Structure 1
């Protein structure tokens, strides 16, 4: 089976999950208020607790909902990455007549909360995934052309630059290769995002068979924070998955900026 065949099979689960109106209603509820318990979701739908659990299970298997323990509670979060994958790999081929409707979908997916969680499965090894996250050249191919540099030790500083300018900076709070990377995150590419201060990004890598689960948690965000801080994660993770599984670049703003930067003279970087 080819890498693209595996991707298509994974997307089949997403299409099946989205085909049911009740499951779409659950996603709508999580869009309105992300990070809800099973009991809270049950109150919003005219069905039994068991019925809600069955639908959440299907959404979870499709990767559209992820869960996180907080004390005794199990919270459910909308994971927009699979929908972004659908857009990047299929819908984007026919975007011209669809742009108006997709604009509404994009707005809905980039809602503002104190914590955002993104989860994706990639057919790769933990070591290869860690390398893709920490290697300057490789990361620039899917991360908007940004060149992220650090010595990747706990307590060390990292910087992300592009076009000769500092774009983001922070500290490596926890470095546990190839399993976990926790960083403070301060965007400085504009005065509007600079005013948001410092948040935190956590990369958790978990091997699953011949693949890896990558969960990115962006938290410590101000309520109503500028969505530039977290709105790009869907494109970044889509590009990362495609690069590792196929060696190809997605035609997204992330890859396009890398291609533009790669054509610049070395002295200009």
Structure 2
């Protein structure tokens, strides 16, 4: 948490986050052109944002692209600020919402657990329902197999798709059609990639939600920060994260 607060305390770093909010997936050169500081200074600020988990990078060909990651904002809101200062929580929630709108497609989080336990939490229907809005995902988890998402408390099926790549306990790639509303159903299929990398006594989990049309309904991916925050909370503490809407499909 200290790294997140420190990173966001600097106005230039906040401006960099604003730029990535405006246009996600920018190169260093594109970001440098928007600031009246040296390239080295922009690099230094980006490294601090990346170290805090607020920015993640991906290479595409020869370019290194920078993406905004709203998950740390969600964690600060859910685990710390709301405990002590509700007005702060409301303000931070507004910022969190602003950072979660359409350009956010890559989400990264560190969880103190093993790859095997994290894989189980992603693929076990009972565990999945504890942090995935109460929804279960069922499949035999083999490459090419189907999966379905649903919940007893839901008015109908919530989603379905195909497991494109299954490499336990490191990588899962899925094609998904969301079904929880007519609006998201009309968006058609998109792709979700789960990548697990052990780091010391923890794992880095990266979720990439792509193959979305430009201007796609943000319901498709706007819930990821809450889902991943709930996953981290449950694996590290055994407790449920009951933020608004987090268990909307749970059995009453």
TM-score between both structures, scaled by the size of structure 1 = 0.89
Where does residue 213 of structure 1 map in the other structure?
204
Partner of 2:36: 46
**Offset at residue 95 of structure 1 (A):** 6.7
Q: CA, structure 1 residues 99+44, in 2 after alignment: closer, same or farther (shift >3 Å)?
A: same
Q: Classify the secondary structure of the residue corresponding to 1:166.
A: coil
Q: Where do 1:9-158 residues align within 5 Å? A: 11-93=1-83, 96-98=86-88, 101-102=91-92, 104-113=94-103, 116-158=105-147
Matched, 1:170 2:181: no
**Counterpart secondary structure, 2:150:** strand
1:150-205 per-position Cα deviation (integer Å, ceiling 9, x unaligned)? 00000000000022521011100000000000000110111111010110000000
Number of residue pairs the alignment of both structures matches: 250
Q: Gaps (5+ residues) in structure 1?
A: 1-10, 264-269
Q: Deviations over 1:133-164 (max 9, x none)?
A: 00000010000000110000000000000225
Any conservation in 2 of the 1:236–1:254 contact (CA below 8 Å)? Answer: no
Query: How far apart in 2 are the matches of 1:174 and 1:191?
Result: 28
- Pick from 229, 236, 251 the counterpart of residue 220 of structure 2: 229
Aligned partner of residue 212 in structure 1, secondary structure: strand
Query: Which structure carries more helix by proportion?
Result: 1
SS in 1 for 2:220: coil
* TM-aligned CA deviation for residue 108 of structure 1: 1.2
TM-score (norm 2): 0.94
Unaligned runs of 5+ in 2: none
Partners of 2:85 and 2:22 in 1: how far apart? 26
> CA 1:239–1:51 in structure 2 vs 1: closer, same or farther (change >3 Å)?
same
> Considering only aligned residues, what root-mean-square deviation do their CA atoms show, in Å?
1.6
